[in-house]
Chains A and B, each alone.
Chain A
Amino acid sequence: MTPRSLLLVHPVTWTIWLGTTLLTVSLTRNPLYLLLLLFGLTLVAETERPTGRATPLDPIFFAVIAVSFGALFNAATIRYGDTVLVALPASWWLIGGPITLEAVVFGMINGLVLSALVAGFGAFGTAMPISALISLVPRAFYPLAVVMSVAVTYVPLTIRLAGQVREAQQLRGHQVRVWRDGLPLLLPLLIGGLERALQLAEAMAARGFAADPPSNQVRMMLVGGLAALFAGLLLQFAWGQVVAASLTMLIGTGLILWALRESGQQAPRTRYRLYRRGIRDMIVLLGAGLTLIAVLAPWPGRASLAYTPYPMLQLPIFEPLLALALMGLLMPVAVRLGDRYLP
Chain B
Amino acid sequence: MIEFAQLSYRYPDQPQVCLDQVSLTLPAGSFTLVIGPSGSGKSTLLRCLNGLVPHFSGGEVAGSVRIAAYDPIALGPRVMSRHVGMVFQSPEAQFVLERVEDEIAFALEHAAVPREQLRIRVEEVLDLLDLAPLRDRLLTTLSGGERQRVAIAATLALQPEVLVLDEPTSQLDPQSADDVLQALVRLNHDLGLTIVLAEHRSERVLPIVDLVVALDRAGRVVSGPPREILATSPLCPPLVTVARAAGWQPLPLSVKEARPFATRQGLAQQDAIAVGKTGEAGRASATGPTRPPRPYLEIRGLEAGYGNTPVLRNLDLTIAAGEITLLMGRNGIGKSTLLKCMIGLLRPRRGEIRIAGRSIAGRDVAAISRELACLPQEPDSMLFADTVADELRTTLRNHRLPVNEALIDELLAQLGLSERRERYPRDLSIGERQRVALGAISITRPGGLLLDEPTRGLDYEAKAMLGGLLRQWSREGSAIIVVSHDVEFVAEIADRVLILGQGGLIADGPPWNVLGNSPLFAPQIARIFPGRGWLTASNALQGLQQK
User: A residues touching B (Cβ–Cβ < 8 Å)?
Assistant: 1, 3-4, 6, 50-53, 129-131, 146, 149-150, 153, 156-157, 161, 164-165, 167-175, 183-184, 187-188, 191-192, 195-196, 199-210, 268-274
**Which chain A residues lie closer than 8 Å to B515 at the CB level?**
none
User: In the bound complex, how far is the Cα of B119 from the Cα of A1, in angstroms?
Assistant: 9
B109-146 at interface with A (beta carbon < 8 Å): 109-115, 118-119, 122, 135-138, 140-141
Contact of B382 among A157, A188, A195, A268 (CB under 8 A): A188
Given A130-B98, A172-B398, CB of A271 within 8 Å of CB of B115:
yes
Contact B366 A175 (CB under 8 A): yes
**Which chain B residues lie closer than 8 Å to A174 at the CB level?**
366, 398
Minimum CB distance partner of A150 in chain B: B96
Q: What is the distance, in angstroms, from A131's C-beta to the closest C-beta of chain B?
A: 4
**Which chain A residues lie closer than 8 Å to B376 at the CB level?**
164, 167-168, 171
Most central of A50, A174, A195 by chain B CB within 10 Å: A174
* Given pairs A149-B97, A205-B56, 15 additional interface contacts (CB within 8 A): A130-B98, A169-B381, A171-B365, A171-B382, A172-B441, A173-B370, A183-B384, A195-B380, A205-B52, A269-B110, A270-B113, A270-B115, A272-B118, A272-B122, A273-B102
Contact A52 B115 (CB under 8 A): no
29 residue pairs from A and B, CB less than 8 Å apart: A4-B135, A50-B138, A52-B140, A131-B106, A146-B96, A157-B92, A164-B376, A164-B378, A170-B345, A171-B365, A172-B394, A173-B398, A173-B444, A184-B384, A188-B384, A192-B380, A200-B94, A201-B56, A206-B50, A207-B85, A207-B107, A207-B110, A207-B155, A207-B158, A209-B110, A272-B119, A272-B122, A273-B102, A273-B105
Residue B108 lies at the interface, judged by CB distance under 8 Å to chain A? yes
Contact B381 A165 (CB under 8 A): yes
**Which chain B residues lie closer than 8 Å to A175 at the CB level?**
364, 366, 398
Q: What is the distance, in angstroms, from A183's C-beta to the closest C-beta of chain B?
A: 7
Minimum CB distance partner of B49 in chain A: A206
Residue B411 lies at the interface, judged by CB distance under 8 Å to chain A? no
Given A191-B426, A207-B107, CB of A131 within 8 Å of CB of B86:
no
User: In the bound complex, how far is the Cα of B52 from the Cα of A272, in angstroms?
Assistant: 27
**Which chain B residues lie closer than 8 Å to A6 at the CB level?**
99, 136
Given A170-B345, A205-B52, A205-B56, CB of A272 within 8 Å of CB of B369:
no
**Which chain B residues lie closer than 8 Å to A149 at the CB level?**
96-97
Q: What is the distance, in angstroms, from A222's C-beta to the closest C-beta of chain B?
A: 23
Going nearest first, the 8 A-B pairs with the smallest beta carbon separation are A208-B81, A173-B398, A203-B94, A52-B141, A272-B105, A199-B93, A187-B384, A131-B102
Contact B369 A270 (CB under 8 A): no
Contact B381 A188 (CB under 8 A): yes
Residues 15-37 of B, flagged 1 when their CB comes within 8 A of A and 0 if not, give: 00000000000000000000000
**Which chain B residues lie closer than 8 Å to A164 at the CB level?**
376, 378, 381
Contact of B93 among A146, A200, A209 (CB under 8 A): A200
**Which chain A residues lie closer than 8 Å to B82 at the CB level?**
208
**Which chain A residues lie closer than 8 Å to B345 at the CB level?**
167, 170
Contact B383 A188 (CB under 8 A): yes
Contact B140 A156 (CB under 8 A): yes
User: In the bound complex, how far is the Cα of B138 from the Cα of A6, in angstroms?
Assistant: 11
Q: What is the distance, in angstroms, from A157's C-beta to the closest C-beta of chain B?
A: 6
Contact of A271 among B92, B109, B136, B369 (CB under 8 A): B109
User: In the bound complex, how far is the Cα of B109 from the Cα of A201, in angstroms?
Assistant: 18
User: In the bound complex, how far is the Cα of B118 from the Cα of A131, in angstroms?
Assistant: 15
Q: What is the distance, in angstroms, from B55's C-beta to the closest C-beta of chain A?
A: 8
Residue B473 lies at the interface, judged by CB distance under 8 Å to chain A? no
**Which chain B residues lie closer than 8 Å to A268 at the CB level?**
112
Q: What is the distance, in angstroms, from A290's C-beta to the closest C-beta of chain B?
A: 32
User: In the bound complex, how far is the Cα of B95 from the Cα of A149, in angstroms?
Assistant: 10
Residue B154 lies at the interface, judged by CB distance under 8 Å to chain A? yes
**Which chain A residues lie closer than 8 Å to B85 at the CB level?**
206-207
Majority secondary structure, A binding face: helix
Counting chain B residues whose Cβ lies within 8 A of the other chain, the interface size class is 35 or more
**Which chain B residues lie closer than 8 Å to A153 at the CB level?**
95-98
User: In the bound complex, how far is the Cα of B366 from the Cα of A131, in angstroms?
Assistant: 43
Contact B109 A272 (CB under 8 A): yes
**Which chain A residues lie closer than 8 Å to B373 at the CB level?**
171
**Which chain B residues lie closer than 8 Å to A196 at the CB level?**
92-93
User: In the bound complex, how far is the Cα of B398 from the Cα of A184, in angstroms?
Assistant: 11
Given A171-B376, A192-B380, CB of A270 within 8 Å of CB of B108:
yes
User: In the bound complex, how far is the Cα of B110 from the Cα of A268, in angstroms?
Assistant: 8
Q: What is the distance, in angstroms, from A184's C-beta to the closest C-beta of chain B?
A: 5
Residue B11 lies at the interface, judged by CB distance under 8 Å to chain A? no
**Which chain A residues lie closer than 8 Å to B96 at the CB level?**
146, 149-150, 153, 200, 204, 209
Q: What is the distance, in angstroms, from A340's C-beta to the closest C-beta of chain B?
A: 17
Contact of B97 among A53, A131, A157, A270 (CB under 8 A): A131
Contact of B99 among A131, A188, A204, A209 (CB under 8 A): A131
Residue B101 lies at the interface, judged by CB distance under 8 Å to chain A? yes
Given A6-B136, A153-B95, A270-B112, CB of A206 within 8 Å of CB of B441:
no
Contact B94 A168 (CB under 8 A): no
Residue B399 lies at the interface, judged by CB distance under 8 Å to chain A? yes
User: In the bound complex, how far is the Cα of B379 from the Cα of A272, in angstroms?
Assistant: 40
Minimum CB distance partner of B384 in chain A: A187
Contact B382 A53 (CB under 8 A): no
User: In the bound complex, how far is the Cα of B444 from the Cα of A201, in angstroms?
Assistant: 40
Q: What is the distance, in angstroms, from A56's C-beta to the closest C-beta of chain B?
A: 12
Minimum CB distance partner of A172 in chain B: B395
Residue B88 lies at the interface, judged by CB distance under 8 Å to chain A? yes
Contact A172 B99 (CB under 8 A): no
Contact B102 A272 (CB under 8 A): yes
Minimum CB distance partner of A191 in chain B: B426
Q: What is the distance, in angstroms, from A264's C-beta to the closest C-beta of chain B?
A: 12
Residue B440 lies at the interface, judged by CB distance under 8 Å to chain A? yes
Contact of A270 among B118, B158, B380 (CB under 8 A): B118
Contact B378 A202 (CB under 8 A): no
User: In the bound complex, how far is the Cα of B140 from the Cα of A173, in angstroms?
Assistant: 31
**Which chain B residues lie closer than 8 Å to A269 at the CB level?**
109-110, 112
Residue B78 lies at the interface, judged by CB distance under 8 Å to chain A? yes
Residues 47-58 of B, flagged 1 when their CB comes within 8 A of A and 0 if not, give: 000101001100
**Which chain B residues lie closer than 8 Å to A53 at the CB level?**
138, 140-141
Residues 490-507 of B, flagged 1 when their CB comes within 8 A of A and 0 if not, give: 000000000000000000
User: In the bound complex, how far is the Cα of B391 from the Cα of A171, in angstroms?
Assistant: 13
**Which chain A residues lie closer than 8 Å to B119 at the CB level?**
1, 3, 272
Contact A207 B81 (CB under 8 A): yes
Contact of B369 among A171, A201, A206 (CB under 8 A): A171
User: In the bound complex, how far is the Cα of B105 from the Cα of A207, in angstroms?
Assistant: 12
User: In the bound complex, how far is the Cα of B369 from the Cα of A174, in angstroms?
Assistant: 10
User: In the bound complex, how far is the Cα of B98 from the Cα of A176, in angstroms?
Assistant: 34
